Amino acid sequence: MLAELVRSAQPPTLLDVRWTLAKDGRAAYAAGHLPGAVFADLDADLCGQPGAGGRHPLPDPAELQAALRRLGVRAGHPVVVYDAGGTNPTGAAARAWWTLRWAGHPDVRVLDGGYAAWMAAGQLVTTEEVDSEPGDFEVHPGHMPVWTEADAADRRNTLLDARIPARFRGEVEPVDPVAGHIPGAVNVPAAETVDAAGLLKPLHIDGDRVGAYCGSGVTAAQLVLALWEQGQRPALYVGSWSHWIRDPARAVAEGDSS
């Protein structure tokens, strides 16, 4: 149990990755966090700069290594990541888990249910700022399946869209300049990965080649995590919709049809 590990002589490295589209979670972290947790900025620490690769592209390996070491990530030492949790997952902790696994860290876990579940269980929280010891983790990228736009366009693959149905159908688009979805995609909203308590529930998608995308590759990581827990090995289209629409020649679909 994580509560026991947190109190142990060798606790895991705890990363608080609370984040939403509107803001990072610094204020939430300052108001209360797990004992020993360090705040990790999803945008600045775990993703590349917005641009040609989308809004949350893959980070530069050297920059990621520097950030992870600053956060205290060590070789051979377990890492636990968490976000706000709840029944409408942002995918922030899942993207942190995915990024660390992509970078070659073999022992990364996600706190099931996130901060909300921790609080609901009556566990200890603190407002104490944590000064982490510098880590020594070396980034070796490429340890998680990644899809390109060509993979996303390949109708032989099973492509999952993790956004809410209204965004998938193109009825609303609060972030990107073009609404709709990638032709051939199937809408599996990230909320379908959790139960009424916000805990991860089984998700299985038929197909040998399965990948997920969303607006910018964050929420889609929630689908990847849920499928990974069931023994599947899906890919993440990191650039996602924000990358797909950068080329006006790429087709856009609307409505419920794939």
Q: Specify the CATH architecture of the domain 149-244.
A: 3-Layer(aba) Sandwich (3.40)
Q: What pLDDT is recorded for position 131? A: 83
Question: Has residue 30 got a pLDDT over 80?
Answer: yes
Question: pLDDT tens digits for 136-172?
Answer: 999 999 999 999 999 999 999 999 999 999 999 999 9
Question: Which stretch of DSSP H or E encloses residue 242?
Answer: helix 240-244
- The answer to whether 221 touches 147, Cβ cutoff 8 Å, is no
Q: What pLDDT is recorded for position 21? A: 86
CA nearest 215: which of 253, 171, 161, 255?
161
Question: pLDDT tens digits for 195-239?
Answer: 999 999 999 999 999 999 999 999 999 999 999 999 999 999 999
Confidence of residue 240 (pLDDT cuts 50, 70, 90): very high
Question: pLDDT tens digits for 31-59?
Answer: 999 999 999 999 999 999 999 999 999 99
Same fold yes or no, 2-120 and 149-244: yes
Question: Which stretch of DSSP H or E encloses residue 224?
Answer: helix 220-229
Q: Locate the domains of the chain by residue range.
A: 2-120, 149-244
Q: What pLDDT is recorded for position 106? A: 97
Enter the pTM of the model.
0.97
Q: Which residues are catalytic?
A: 214
Q: What pLDDT is recorded for position 24? A: 83
Give the percent of the chain with pLDDT over 70. 100
Q: What pLDDT is recorded for position 257? A: 77
Domain boundaries 2-120, corresponding CATH code: 3.40.250.10
